[in-house]
Amino acid sequence: MKKAKIYIPTKTAMQSGTKNDEKWVIEFETKDTGINPLMGWETSSDTNSELKLEFSSKELALNYAKKNKINFEVIEPNKRKVVKKSYADNFLK
């Protein structure tokens, strides 16, 4: 049975906007990892671990996983806490 996690990917350190916060990703877990004896890299015989499927909503991702009989875990995103800052606050305290 395939196992996957459904989540919203985090932004890179170079991003500050919230434009791509609405896409959800299904990522399959890697099985049977090991070290390639020739190159010394990490390897796996499972090619599903290379897939990342993107969906525009959480419901579409859940429906896809249920339809294809994929065991999944949903990781809910943390809410962004916005702190209002003002330059004048530096001199008022």
Exposure on the CB side of residue 86, measured as CA atoms within 13 A = 5
The radius of gyration computed from the CA coordinates of the chain, to the nearest angstrom, equals 20
Q: What is the pLDDT of residue 27?
A: 92
Domain boundaries, the chain: 1-7+23-28+44-78
Per-residue pLDDT of the chain (93 residues; tens, 9 = 90+): 588 999 998 877 776 776 667 899 999 987 777 888 888 887 777 777 788 999 999 999 999 999 999 999 999 988 878 888 888 888 886
**What 3 state SS string does 19-55 have?**
HHHHCEEEEECCCCEEECCCCCCEEECCHHHHCEEEE
* Cα distance between residue 59 and residue 25, in whole Å: 12
* Cα distance between residue 25 and residue 32, in whole Å: 22
